Structure 1
Amino acid sequence: MATRALIFDFDGTLADTEAAVLRSWQEMFAEHGAELPLDVWHTVIGTQNTATTMFKLLAEQAENVDPESLRPAMRARVHELLAEDGPRDGVLDYLEEAAHHGLALGIASSSSSTWVHGQLARLGLAHHFTAVETGDRHNPKPDPDTYLAALRTLGVPAEEALAFEDSPHGVSAAKAAGIPTIAIPNPITAPLDFAKADLVLPSFTTTTLTKLLQYFSQ
């Protein structure tokens, strides 16, 4: 069946924002004489539980931690780290190919609308996407709601879409929505289990979108 739409996760998939967020948390833990285990970080990737889980863990390791007083510095540090970063390698080529094929484009993210729209504007990508569904408007991943909402907005059935994800939680969400799913892990998520994905690629540069569409139309 021909593909009519592509739906992308945002953080870690279209742009490697997760590296900056992880680094900012690691720095905060270190400032308080604590350590952030990477295996704990892996459990929250692709969900909306990052800040809650991290602050709880930090409070267990350090005394007198006030999450609300730390949030502004956290946000500022993340934006500082992201200032010069662009989309992941190959993303722009995929978006150009998608336009050539006349495909509808959407985003399904567990992050907030403010964050995703702000980052899309920073990256100059906003005009590509008809649907931007986020975790503050729908149940976040691993629930399928953001993907189901994107399908509704795009007017495309699940079997005529492809999803792109970088985390197992995201893959679970897309598959629960019935969408064939390609996992393209980033350096942080690469060691995780992507057995549920229909296809796993090392990067967007591994193959062209045209070849990928041919693969899924067989």
Structure 2
Amino acid sequence: MNQVIKGLIWDIDGLLVDTEWLHFLAWNNMVKEAGGKTLSEEEYRPLVGHGWEENMKRVCRLAGISGDDNSLNKRRQMHYANLCDHGIPVIKKNIQLVRDFAVQFPQLRQMVASSSSASEVKKKVKLIDLGDIFEFALSFDDRFPNAPDKKLRKKPSPDLYNLALQKANLCGAECVAFEDSQSGVLSAKAAGIRCVALPNNLTMFLDLSAADFVIQPNESKNPVTIMARLNSI
């Protein structure tokens, strides 16, 4: 029998804010600037949820461009920042799901584990106005207390989730993660956490079979139904 669920851990990018599409546009803006062939949505999808270093190699190969990775990434970041300046779309149904959980299951602790920087996480939590619900929001800039000089590994490494469990003083079996990408799902599962995949329009075609179950963008999302399904696993 599964242990009683005590905590919900949420990703942000692609789950609560639709930044994945902005990242897609930023990568292609960088590629066009470098004189390469832009990526199709199908080519870009497997990149979602992975670190920029890994993705840069794949993008350069697909787009037929070359150059210094750090310089190219600075250009990509500039394009992404410019796109964000025009507004970051939010994913209203998933934001409402967080709020519905807070109302219907107020005993559950809710928190964030994101691969973004601390400044980005803080900005996005403020944008979606869920700071009153989230107990804490971890970022890629956070560190394990016993290894303050060691950087976390990005998803699909379980580092972020393991740190969240440590900070919350919970075990993996007591938590549920909500993720939109394959790397995020694998990260949660590697930490021993049950995972519900809530893909967006870019990630819905990825292999999310490692999740305990998947709720597609056009399907209803109800806390009572989700908890019942989790407790039956």
TM category (shorter chain) comes to 0.7 to 0.9
Moved more, 139-148 or 18-27: 18-27
| Deviation, structure 1 residue 171 | 0.6
What is the deviation of 1:105? 0.8
CA deviation map 1:28-67 (0-9, x unaligned): 3223331233455334321222686169718952679943
Which residue in the other structure is 2:155 paired with?
A: 141
Which amino acid in 2 is paired with 1:61? I
Instruction: Give the equivalent residue in structure 1 for 2:72.
Output: 67
Q: RMSD of the TM alignment (CA)?
A: 2.7
User: Aligned residue for 2:19?
Assistant: 17
1:49 matched to 2:63? The reply is: no
What are the within-5 Å matches in structure 2 for residues 190-205 of structure 1? 190-203=204-217
Change (3 A) 1:6 1:74: same
Q: Find the residue that maps to 1:164 and give its secondary structure.
A: strand
Provide the C-alpha distance between the structure 2 equivalents of 1:204 and 1:164, rounded to a whole number of angstroms.
Answer: 16
For structure 2, the residue ranges without an aligned partner over 5 or more in a row are 143-151
Determine helix, strand or coil for the equivalent of 1:131: strand
Aligned to 1:168: 182
Pick from 128, 143, 148 the counterpart of residue 123 of structure 1: 128
Does residue 27 (structure 1) correspond to residue 32 (structure 2)? The answer is no
Q: 1:93 to 1:73 in 2, by over 3 A?
A: closer
Residue type of the alignment partner of 2:173: E
What is aligned with 2:89?
85
Question: How far apart, CA to CA, are the structure 1 residues paired with 2:14 and 2:115?
Answer: 12
Unpaired runs of at least 5, structure 1: none
Between 3-12 and 48-57, report the one with greater CA deviation.
48-57
Seen in structure 2, the aligned counterparts of structure 1 residues 114 and 64 have a Cα distance that, compared at 3 Å, is closer
Greater alpha carbon shift after TM alignment, 131-140 vs 40-49 = 40-49
1:91 corresponds to which letter in structure 2? N
**Identity percentage over the alignment?**
27
Indicate how the Cα distance of structure 1 residues 199 and 56 shifts in structure 2: closer, same or farther if over 3 A, else same.
Answer: closer
* Aligned mates of 1:8, 1:53 — CA distance in 2: 26
User: 2:109 maps to which residue?
Assistant: 104
**Counterpart residue number, 2:145:** none
- 1:108: how far off? 1.4
Query: TM-score with structure 2 length normalisation?
Result: 0.80
Contact 1:97 1:210 in 2 (8 A): no
Larger mean Cα displacement after TM superposition, 181-190 or 123-132? 123-132
Q: Residue type of the partner of 2:177?
A: A
Write the letter of the residue equivalent to 2:160: T
Q: What is the aligned length?
A: 216
C-alpha displacement of 1:79: 1.1
**Aligned partners of 1:44 and 1:50: how far apart in 2?**
11
Q: Which moved more, 1:180-189 or 1:133-142?
A: 133-142
